Chains A and B, each alone.
Chain A
Amino acid sequence: MTRNRIAKRTISNRSVVALACLAAVTILAGCGNPNLADVRGVVTLDGKPLPDAFVKFIPVTEGAASYGKTEADGSYRMKFTDDEYGAFIGSNHVSIGTGDVKADNSGSIPEVVPNVYNTRTTLLAEVTKGRNTFDFELKSDAGKVEKVDMD
């Protein structure tokens, strides 16, 4: 009698574990684009963290761009869509700039980063599978500063 009850309980516990595994597999399956890899880092301008800068990774050959925006401490993490982190694996042109237009067209937000980092970027990043860290140390005297990119 008691043995019987113990046997029953172990079976139910086992089935609960199995179901939990099944649920986990169902939830995890179908997530994530295999072409994307996590990219993060810190952007500094003349040694100081650069906040509110748009960071863009544009694949040289296959795929489309990922976006990031730097926090107050200059850190960024690339996103492909609003809920998908990462940038395309492979060679990426990197563009970093603060310039933009205001949403109601009442003026523009000034650019502080020289054009060799955005409109005529020379930055290149090799994104590999797994986690990538790219820190960019920008110099404000590296080139001239251009207006909002209308090119």
Chain B
Amino acid sequence: MFRKTLRPQFSRHKAFTLVELLVVIAIIGILIGMLLPAVQQVREAARRVTCSNNLRQIGLAMMNYESSYQQFPPGGIWIGPDKLPRGNRAGRGSGWAWSAFILPFMEQNNIYDVLDFPARLSDQPNRNLVASIIPSAVCPSASNQPQHFKIGTDSDAFGMTDPGITATNYVACAGAFFAGAYYDRPLERKNGIYAEDSTNGFGDISDGASNTILAGEAIYYGVGQSRGVPGAFFWDPRWFGSSRHNAGGRADAPEALFRVGRSRINPPSFAGNAEKRNAFGSHHPGGATFGLADGSVHFLRETIGNNETTYNQYIGGQTLGTFQRLTARNDGLVIAEDL
């Protein structure tokens, strides 16, 4: 009886009202809005794990090299007349990076065995080999960077135009200060595990292996090309070495192989070039991944303490912030922050 009277009433309101529809759409919208970022975050988390795995491979390869030769691979070596003053390096050949020396410890013997180290990177057979793609050299979050870094032009003595040197997102740590990788700087300035011509082993890490960074992440700022190209960034990281320009005495680019602790992690895009070429950075939101000398891999937040002490301030007695302490191997300072 009751039902019968109700039915005709309902039939008059068969359709949804506009407001009801809007509410439904709003609810669906909110649900999608909540779900989509979550899915993206999960995907980013997966990429970050892959990236940590890459850095662990690199860290272990460096440590295996140390076990074999009682020193970590040299940060970078140069061929040709050695120890010329900076800016006067005519005839000094291109530099091989630490990354070329650890290839046998990353199951890349097929490349390593054919590389001709006394020759330049731009000479054959090196020219073809340094374009080889190394699977664990690239962070999966850096998907929009070029695969190769081209150097100069064909008329340059050290030009590496086609396809160039294979790209990477991993750089060695050259201590706490700018220019800490340059071979001609005082020893206490070169306080990282790596520098040009470095010979450090575990015995030189007086801060302890678990308090010192071996390698970390760096990103591409340019277009994978080094000169005469708009947007080119000279110091973008590359795997086999930093071949040089043959122009104006501005020879090598150590920052393409090393980064230091004096710049904070992930400086914003409008920071100065002098800053960006020295800074560790990543495409992961909030920080970057680092491999420590004890084989552990840590994701360090970009808010980690860093008072950007300069070398002159340091020898003048100023202390280092947490991040700079991690990048230096022999500062003797306690790391209080939890990594």
Instruction: State the A residues within 8 Å of B (CB).
Output: 9, 12-13, 15-16, 19-20, 22-23, 26-27, 33, 35, 54, 58-65, 67, 69, 79-82, 93, 99-106, 119, 148-151
Residues of B within 8 A of A9 (CB): 19
Complex formed: what's the CA distance from A150 to B180 in Å? 10
The stretch from B72-80, B141-149, B156-164, B302-310 touching chain A is: B302-310
Complex formed: what's the CA distance from A35 to B19 in Å? 42
Inter-subunit contact A103/B268 (CB<8 Å): no
Residues of A within 8 A of B26 (CB): 16, 19-20, 23
Residue of A nearest to B20 (CB): A12
Inter-subunit contact A26/B33 (CB<8 Å): yes
Closest 3 A/B residue pairs (Cβ): A105-B234, A64-B264, A12-B19
Complex formed: what's the CA distance from A101 to B233 in Å? 11
Complex formed: what's the CA distance from A67 to B233 in Å? 20
Residues of B within 8 A of A12 (CB): 17, 19-20, 23
Q: Least Cβ distance of A73 to chain B in Å?
A: 17
Complex formed: what's the CA distance from A108 to B312 in Å? 22
Residues of B within 8 A of A15 (CB): 23
Inter-subunit contact A54/B232 (CB<8 Å): no
Inter-subunit contact A67/B306 (CB<8 Å): no
Residue of A nearest to B26 (CB): A19
Chain B positions 22 through 62: 1 when the CB is less than 8 Å from some CB of chain A, otherwise 0: 11001101100110000000000000000000000000000
- Chosen A-B contacts, 12 in total, with CB atoms closer than 8 Å, are A12-B17, A13-B19, A19-B26, A20-B26, A27-B33, A58-B308, A64-B265, A64-B323, A65-B306, A100-B272, A101-B272, A151-B178
The stretch from B89-97, B192-200, B222-230 touching chain A is: B222-230
Residues of A within 8 A of B235 (CB): 105
From known contacts A80-B268, A104-B234, A105-B234, infer whether A64 and B302 are also in contact, taking CB-CB under 8 Å: yes
Contacting residue for B231 out of A58, A60, A103, CB 8 A? A103
Inter-subunit contact B268/A104 (CB<8 Å): no
From known contacts A67-B271, A79-B268, infer whether A151 and B245 are also in contact, taking CB-CB under 8 Å: no
CB of B117 within 8 Å of the partner chain: no
Contacting residue for B272 out of A54, A59, A105, CB 8 A? A54
Residue of A nearest to B178 (CB): A150
CB of B269 within 8 Å of the partner chain: yes
Inter-subunit contact A104/B228 (CB<8 Å): yes
From known contacts A106-B227, A150-B274, infer whether A23 and B305 are also in contact, taking CB-CB under 8 Å: no
From known contacts A64-B302, A64-B303, infer whether A26 and B30 are also in contact, taking CB-CB under 8 Å: yes
From known contacts A26-B34, A119-B310, A148-B274, infer whether A105 and B253 are also in contact, taking CB-CB under 8 Å: yes
Beyond the given pairs A63-B303, A63-B306, 11 more chain A to chain B contacts, judged by CB atoms under 8 angstroms and listed by A's residue number, are A16-B19, A19-B30, A22-B30, A23-B29, A26-B33, A58-B307, A61-B307, A93-B307, A149-B178, A150-B274, A151-B177
Inter-subunit contact B274/A151 (CB<8 Å): no
Inter-subunit contact B178/A100 (CB<8 Å): no
Q: Least Cβ distance of B249 to chain A in Å?
A: 11
Residues of B within 8 A of A54 (CB): 271-272, 275
Inter-subunit contact A103/B221 (CB<8 Å): yes
Residue of A nearest to B278 (CB): A150
Residues of B within 8 A of A99 (CB): 272, 274
Residues of A within 8 A of B311 (CB): 151
Inter-subunit contact B273/A103 (CB<8 Å): yes
Residues of B within 8 A of A65 (CB): 264, 267, 306, 308
CB of B83 within 8 Å of the partner chain: no
Chain B positions 288 through 313: 1 when the CB is less than 8 Å from some CB of chain A, otherwise 0: 00000000000000111111101110
Inter-subunit contact B22/A104 (CB<8 Å): no
Inter-subunit contact A35/B270 (CB<8 Å): no
Q: Least Cβ distance of A96 to chain B in Å?
A: 12
